[in-house]
């Protein structure tokens, strides 16, 4: 089954997709959108285009594991995505993914505008790969 991952941001949202065998996560795009309804419509369109059977949404927990306002916002958006797509939404702890994404981009010497335009997609890839690893090892 293909899985679509979302790294939700206030302005930019990264999207990644898995292969059918659930082994590899690949970046799809970064959506520049502030309006949550329009963003949900765009994600729903991408889920349909990629024939996703599951959505994975990054859950921004605090470093102590608690959930704050950002996590509540992500959970609300997950509910909206379930309504729009009819697909189940799983939440994946995203602590540290943006830092890891920046480290990957440092290794490839990706700088400036290019870096800003891809960091959220790379973070979505990390969220998805973590979820795929969890599914493979814990289910």
Tell me the pTM.
0.89
Least confident of 13-22, 80-89, 114-123, 125-134: 114-123
Per-residue pLDDT of 109-125, as tens digits, reads 656 666 566 778 888 99
Whether the Cβ atoms of residue 5 and residue 15 lie closer than 8 Å to each other: yes
For 108, the token pair is 């490839």
**Are 25 and 125 contacting, i.e. CB atoms less than 8 angstroms apart?**
yes
Cα separation, 112 vs 88, in Å, equals 36
Are the beta carbons of 87 and 46 closer than 8 angstroms? no
pLDDT digits (tens, 9 = 90+) for 58-84: 999 988 989 999 999 999 999 999 999
Distance from C-alpha of 62 to C-alpha of 67, rounded to nearest angstrom: 6
Residue 71 CA to residue 95 CA, distance in Å, equals 11
Query: Under a CB-based contact definition with an 8 Å cutoff, are residues 40 and 84 in contact?
Result: yes
Full set of structural domains in the chain with CATH: 2-138 (3.30.420.140)
Judge whether 94 and 13 are in contact, CB under 8 Å: no
């Amino acid at each position: 089954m293909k899985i679509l991952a979302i790294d939700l941001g206030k302005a930019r949202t990264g999207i990644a997709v898995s292969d059918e065998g659930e082994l590899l996560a690949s970046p799809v795009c970064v959506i520049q959108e502030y309006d949550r309804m329009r963003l949900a419509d765009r994600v729903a369109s991408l889920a349909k285009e990629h024939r996703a059977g599951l959505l994975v949404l990054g859950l921004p927990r605090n470093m102590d594991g608690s959930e704050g306002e950002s996590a509540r916002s992500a959970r609300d958006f997950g509910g909206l995505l379930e309504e729009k797509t009819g697909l189940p939404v799983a939440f994946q702890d995203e602590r540290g993914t943006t830092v890891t994404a920046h480290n990957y981009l440092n290794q490839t010497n990706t700088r400036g505008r290019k870096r800003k335009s891809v960091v959220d997609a790379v973070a979505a890839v990390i969220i998805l790969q973590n979820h795929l690893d969890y599914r493979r090892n814990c289910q």
